[in-house]
Amino acid sequence: MIGALETAEMKIREQLTTPVRDSTDILVIGGGIAGVAAAVAARRQGADVILIEKSALFGGLATNGLISWYEPLCDGEGTQLMYGLPEELLRLSIKYGPDTLPEIWRDRSKPVDMGKVTPRKQNPVGGRYATYFSPAIFQLALDELLENEGVRVHLCMDGVRPVMENDLCTGVITESVSGREAFMAGVVIDATGDATILSRAGVPCINGKNYFSFIAQEMNDSRVENILSRRKWHMIGASLYGEGHPDGYPFYSGTLNEEVTTYLLDGRKELLSQIKDRDRMKNDITALPHQAQFRTTRRLDGGYTLTEADDRRHNDRSVALLCDFDRPGHWYEMPLECLYHPDFTNLLGAGRMISSSGWAWDVTRVIPGCAASGEAAGIAAAMALAKNRNVSRISINELQKRLEKQGVHVHHS
């Protein structure tokens, strides 16, 4: 028998010949909300786009992770701040399924009735521009969106290693049931949520820290008008701010397989212990998360790091205006440099792993923030193709104009 210590010290040297499966203008790794937004945005700029997702379904934490709450697009004071793909995807999430959208936001052709506005996230009349949605129906709608836009997709395929020529990423090695294959690209967008491609390319990255938190969805025999009220979150462990984190339980970064495995199994074990004594004929767990629900794992250390000091502060190079989902009246302008490191100019990040820290990391990691950074990354990547694949050479004014043409507000008025 080989001991664990001996195994940990062993190395296997590989010399592989990997076939090139395909090539494209822009390759997006990760089909969560950020990856979908990046792929759609780049495709709308005329680029050929391939989107690779390691699971069987698109949507990431919003769908596979059962975090089926689309955070606010407004400031809690009656003013909508986020448009473009963040709003388009919110509307898509409820296009074919139930919602809890407040009355004042239902018809956007009409001005908001300011007399009904409340800063509360959830109020059926005047709450913030946010909604619960059906994860499964949203997944089906994302399939339709990507097909209609002409994005070429691969599911159940994992991007495992970037192909580097000095500091230029020319493609990504993948693994799937087809074996080991390479996809070549002009620009690569890492939307994995964990900065997997960026970190393996040598881009500076920083690990996060996560409380223990596990969410499943359950249903009981109550009779309600809105079916979403029957499907509830069963929450275990810590809140957003850490209340409820088990004493002595470690804080995981989520960048090691052992951590991911333990996190998931501990959550499921605790869930089972909590439901064992319920009336099994009147209660059901309808869905378990298909991925670990880490909030912050590993993120890019980019050309600019968004921090809480940027709260309500103008930035000339902003490519997205972001709502603070928890604090009414607060907002951030996110500069382009949050999406890449200047030494790796054809590698972009999008989603929860862009360059942000502290509370600003929380602001960028939720669904609207992921959609916004994905849209900006997709358009920037399409523009970089004409600049020798160099994001740092694109015109920020032209990028802002293209975003505004898509309805995006890049600055707070």
Distance CA 388, CA 381 (A): 11
Lowest mean pLDDT segment, chosen from 80-94, 215-229, 271-285: 215-229
Distance CA 382, CA 394 (A): 10
3 — pLDDT class (breaks 50, 70, 90): low
Question: Three-state SS across 98-150?
Answer: CCCCCHHHCCCCCCCCHHHCCCCCCCCCCCCCCEECCHHHHHHHHHHHHHHHC
| Residue ranges covered by each domain of the chain | 22-208+296-405, 209-295
CB of 124 closer than 8 Å to CB of 226: no
Token pair for 345: 């100019």
pLDDT tens string 135-145 = 999 999 999 99
pLDDT of residue 330: 97
The reported pTM is 0.94
In DSSP terms, 217 is beta-bridged to 233, 287
Distance CA 152, CA 31 (A): 12
User: In sequence order, what are the residues at sequence separation of 6 or more whose Cβ sits closer than 8 angstroms to the Cβ of residue 280?
Assistant: none
Per-residue burial over 287-323, b if 16 or more Cβ lie within 10 Å, else e, is bebbbbbbbbbbbbebbbbbebebbeeebebbbbbbb
Lowest mean pLDDT segment, chosen from 137-146, 207-216, 364-373: 207-216
Residue-by-residue DSSP string for 238-274: --TT-TTPPTT---B-S-SHHHHHHHHHHHHHHHHHH
DSSP label at residue 327: S
Lowest mean pLDDT segment, chosen from 170-179, 239-248, 343-352, 392-401: 239-248
Q: Which of 21, 23, 35, 19 is nearest to 378 (CA)?
A: 35
314 — pLDDT class (breaks 50, 70, 90): very high
pLDDT tens string 165-185 = 999 999 999 999 999 999 999
Report the CATH number of the 22-208+296-405 domain.
3.50.50.60
204 — pLDDT class (breaks 50, 70, 90): very high
Q: What percent of the chain has pLDDT over 70?
A: 97
Please list the alpha-helical segments (H only) found in 201-327.
257-275
pLDDT tens string 57-66 = 999 999 999 9
pLDDT tens string 189-202 = 999 999 999 999 99
The number of helices, as runs of H, and strands, as runs of E, in the chain is 9, 16
Q: What one-letter code names the amino acid at 365? A: R
Q: Is 2 a residue whose pLDDT tops 80?
A: no
Q: Which of 352, 295, 333 is nearest to 34 (CA)?
A: 352
